Homo-oligomer: A and B are copies of this chain.
Amino acid sequence: MHLRGIFPPMATPFTADGEAIDVDALKHNLDRWLATGLAGFVLLGSNGEAAYIDEDEADTLVAEVRSHVPAGRLVIVGTGRESTRATIGASRRAAGLGADAALVRVPGAFKTQMTADALVRHYTAVADASPIPVILYNFAAAFGVNLPTDAVATLSAHPNIVGLKESGGDVAQVAEQVAATPGDFAVVVGAAPALYASLCVGARGGVVAVANVAPDACVRLYELTVAGRHQEALALQRALAPLARAVTATYGVAGLKAAMTLAGYRGGQPRSPLLPAPPAALSALSARLLALQQFFEGPHVHTA
């Protein structure tokens, strides 16, 4: 398994009434993404609204994506649940549906009890039972618990744990994680504003929301950095950052989906309790898409 490059944490399109996954929209989006240099897809992450998706919907989503995505691109599925047993169950189901790897978030239900020891046991049990490789997923601000670097180091020795998605945006912590793990263990980052700097300190790629909207720009940033063209990479990082912040910190998933629609994808609306993006968001997102387009050569804004 070759975990490197750029992956969108795929937004999940729903039908207009919010009651089902919109499979047509999904295929429309996948077709566009497959025309770019994306290394694969991360399904059922935070930006995929995994928290709002039933278990049977999750299975449908994995099956549809896998049938549509050729073997050369990775299909990574979020299978972390709060309990160890449910996480194992979800990982086995994803494997059965053709997923390449399981992305397992830190369980946060009883924050104060999630010691390093508890987390190491949890991940070890999941990795022992999972038929597909496991990727750790740390995002302390969202899950309320930080996976300590020592625990990452311990877990990186497990033959079925192949990497870590770190979404905190703390580049010094990324550098520590890289330094504490073997060369074939891949740290990928989940915060676009820190993407270039994280690649500088040894991250292997990014799982960044903005790659749903502007995949070419993200892939180019990755390639420039790998090629050692640092000045160009930094310039692109700066051009990308305003849009990246808008589709995460500022407007959240509703903003991400609105930006996708503006860029010609089929985003739709998030599920409740998330609210649709307000009108002010649409104009701000349009301006940032346009600014990135003017910087970068590709046609990122839908002109119809």
Interface residues of A (CB under 8 A from B): 18-19, 46, 51-52, 54, 82-86, 107, 109-115, 117-119, 121-122, 125, 142, 144, 169-172, 175-176, 179, 191, 193-194, 196-198, 200-202, 228, 230, 234, 237-238, 241, 249, 252-254, 271-275
> 9 A-B pairs, CB-CB below 8 angstroms?
A112-B249, A112-B252, A122-B272, A122-B273, A172-B241, A175-B238, A197-B197, A200-B200, A200-B234
Which partner residue on chain B sits nearest A244 by CB separation? B172
Which of B110, B234, B273 interacts with A274 by CB under 8 Å? B110
- Select which of B86, B197, B228, B274 is within 8 A of A54 by beta carbon: B86
- A-B pairs with the 8 shortest C-beta distances? A172-B193, A51-B109, A122-B273, A52-B83, A84-B272, A51-B82, A171-B171, A197-B197
Q: What is the distance, in angstroms, from A243's C-beta to the closest C-beta of chain B?
A: 13
Residue of B nearest to A248 (CB): B112
* 8 more CB-based (< 8 A) A-B contacts, given A46-B110, A52-B85, A228-B230: A51-B82, A51-B110, A112-B252, A115-B275, A118-B274, A121-B272, A171-B171, A201-B234
Chain B residues whose C-beta falls within 8 Å of the C-beta of A82 in the assembled complex: 51-52
> Closest residue to A117 on the B side, CB-wise?
B275
| Contact call A200/B197, Cβ cutoff below 8 A | yes
CB–CB A85/B121 < 8 A: no
Say yes or no: B200 contacts A275, CB within 8 Å: no
> How many Å lie between the Cα of A142 and that of B198 in the bound state?
25
Tell me how many chains of this kind the complex includes: 4
C-alpha gap A271/B109 in the complex (Å): 12
Which of B19, B46, B197, B252 contacts A85 (CB under 8 A)? B19
> Cα distance A194–B271 when bound, in Å?
36
Q: Are B271 and A85 in contact (CB under 8 A)?
A: yes
Q: CA A110 – CA B230 in complex, angstroms?
A: 34
Nearest CB on B from A143, distance (A): 9
Report the minimum CB–CB distance from A25 to chain B (whole Å): 19
- Expressed in whole angstroms, the minimum distance between the Cβ of A45 and any Cβ of chain B is 12
In the bound complex, what is the Cα–Cα distance between A111 and B139 (angstroms)? 13
Which residue on B lies nearest to A119, using beta carbons?
A: B273
B238 in contact with A18 (CB, 8 Å):
no
Taking a contact as CB atoms under 8 Å apart, the answer to whether B169 and A169 are in contact is no
Nearest Cβ in chain B — how far from A89, in angstroms? Answer: 9
Closest residue on chain B to residue A194 by CB atoms: B172
A110 contact set on B, CB distance < 8 A: 46, 51, 252-253, 274
- Of A83, A84, A170, A254, which is in contact with the most chain B CB atoms at under 10 Å from its CB? A83
